[in-house]
């Protein structure tokens, strides 16, 4: 059965082509059938006045908890929640159980996602076997299985020689190495930003130096090998400075930041609030402002959710014993829209950080709004006011530090 939707007077945002105009658009059977005035009426007609239509977001870090932790969530539950929130592509880290270190595991994840039929799932393959940090995984087999990059997740590598060999191997295959920069010796099992709040609460600290030392080591290896590294979930001003310096020297490095780091600081830990237990930790106000500046200037080219759904029990122990992470895929777009309302980004720049920036990191084609194109789109009302209630999240994980926040802007509908 044919289906068609005509959206009138909507603001079209397409960072790949620089398109930012108010127009009519006709969608028929998953394709753009007409742009501009004079379109035939669709079976469904929507008034897009005041709304935005843009390619749906690509999330560079979303743990879907399957395989291995289905008490927390599933591929089906999280891809449905993502699509409803305007996120059409999710990139999964390899730290599933079993680890995504073989083609068989990658194929299994892809099959589950296809069966769910919601947001598309892309997989980062494991850099080392079992993420143990020692023997390299069969990266060529992982590439053949369709991984979009390789990573050791939050697990450390045995030493810098393993890191160098991994970078050389990945470079030969044209794969980007995704790094979450945390020096294990300096982080030393900590759970909070090293500062006055952690000291007062008696929480084991994770100094900024843990991020900085790891970034410096990887940049040094990039200088030697020319391998491409993407630094995920930056948390500090000094980390952003190192990325900017490397980019100015034309090194092949990129970076993203989790949306919550742009709005929260370690002050959210007051009262031992386990919903604010995150890794990397929420840092100080100077770091938050530096990260926002790096996003605005394009040093950080992507904003992700760092989606980590948990069951309620994971957040009810004493703070150091709770599991880090927040259910973030449904707040990714609303927080990005808030950056527009606050004047940090234009709507087109917001779309760039949610779509084209992530697509470039994953070597995906840039989605372009043009006649005949078939691409996931999201219709956004940037004026819609609503309050986040944790219990109303579609994700199985209701763990969010933004419960009770007032938002202005929300996805109305995803077209796929």
Q: Is 304 within 8 Å of 256 (Cβ atoms)?
A: yes
Q: Which residues contact 110 (CB under 8 A, 6 or more apart)?
A: 121, 123, 145, 146
CB burial string 167-181: b at 16+ within 10 A, e below: bebbbeeebbbbbbb
DSSP for 22-73, written as a single string: EEEEEEETTEEEEESTTPPPPSEEEE-TT-EEEEPEEES-B---TTT-TTT-
Q: Is 215 within 8 Å of 253 (Cβ atoms)?
A: no
d(CA 402, CA 338): 13
Q: Where are the alpha helices (DSSP H) in 117-159?
A: 139-144
d(CA 25, CA 180): 40
Strands 177-179 and 150-151, sheet pairing: parallel
Q: Is 6 within 8 Å of 53 (Cβ atoms)?
A: no
d(CA 377, CA 369): 9
Q: At CA 165, angle to CA 256 and CA 185, rounded to 5?
A: 60
Q: How far is CA 356 from CA 130, 137, 254, in A?
A: 31, 29, 13
The burial of 392, by beta-carbon neighbours within 10 Å (0-12 exposed, 13-18 middle, 19 or more buried), is given as exposed
Q: Is 399 within 8 Å of 316 (Cβ atoms)?
A: no
d(CA 131, CA 271): 35
Could you confirm whether 183 is annotated as catalytic? Answer: no
Expressed in angstroms, the distance from the first to the final Cα of the chain is: 16
Which DSSP state fits 136? B
Secondary structure class of 318 (helix, strand, coil):
coil
Q: Active-site residue among 306, 313, 356, 363?
A: 306
Q: Is 361 within 8 Å of 230 (Cβ atoms)?
A: yes
Question: Which active-site residues does the annotation give?
Answer: 306
């Amino acid at each position: 059965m044919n289906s068609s939707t005509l959206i009138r007077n909507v603001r079209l945002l397409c960072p790949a082509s620089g398109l930012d105009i108010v127009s009519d658009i006709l969608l028929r059977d998953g394709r753009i059938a007409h742009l501009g005035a004079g379109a035939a009426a669709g079976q469904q007609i929507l008034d897009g006045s005041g709304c935005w239509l843009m390619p749906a977001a690509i999330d560079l870090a979303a743990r879907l908890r399957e395989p291995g932790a289905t008490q927390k969530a599933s591929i089906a539950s999280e891809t449905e929640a993502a699509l409803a929130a305007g996120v059409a592509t999710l990139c999964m880290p390899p730290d599933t159980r079993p680890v995504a270190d073989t083609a068989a595991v990658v194929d299994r994840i892809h099959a589950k996602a296809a069966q769910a039929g919601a947001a598309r799932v892309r997989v980062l393959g494991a850099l080392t076997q079992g993420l143990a940090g020692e023997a390299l995984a069969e990266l060529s087999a992982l590439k053949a299985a369709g991984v979009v990059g390789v990573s050791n997740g939050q697990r450390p590598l045995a030493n810098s020689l393993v890191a160098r060999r991994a970078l050389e191997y990945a470079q030969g295959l044209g794969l980007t190495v995704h790094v979450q920069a945390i020096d294990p010796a300096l982080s030393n099992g900590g759970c909070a930003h090293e500062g006055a709040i952690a000291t007062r609460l008696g929480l084991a600290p994770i100094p900024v130096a843990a991020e900085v030392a790891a970034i410096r080591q990887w940049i040094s290896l990039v200088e030697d090998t020319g391998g491409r590294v993407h630094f995920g979930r930056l948390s500090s001003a000094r980390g952003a400075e190192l990325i900017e310096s490397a980019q100015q020297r034309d090194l092949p490095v990129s970076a993203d930041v989790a949306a919550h780091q742009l709005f929260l600081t370690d002050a959210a830990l007051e009262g031992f609030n386990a919903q604010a237990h995150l890794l990397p930790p929420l840092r100080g106000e100077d770091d938050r402002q530096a990260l926002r500046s790096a996003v605005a200037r394009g040093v950080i080219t992507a904003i992700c959710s760092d989606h980590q759904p948990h069951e309620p029990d994971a957040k009810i122990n004493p703070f150091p014993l709770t599991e880090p992470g927040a259910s973030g895929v449904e707040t990714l777009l609303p927080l990005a829209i808030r950056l527009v309302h606050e004047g940090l980004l234009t709507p087109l720049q917001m779309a760039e950080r949610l779509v084209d920036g992530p697509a470039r990191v994953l070597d995906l084609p840039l989605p372009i709004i043009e006649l005949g194109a078939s691409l996931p789109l999201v219709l956004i009302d940037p004026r819609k006011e609503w309050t986040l209630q944790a219990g109303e999240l579609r994700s199985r994980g209701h763990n969010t530090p933004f419960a009770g926040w007032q938002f202005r802007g929300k996805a109305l509908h995803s077209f796929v």
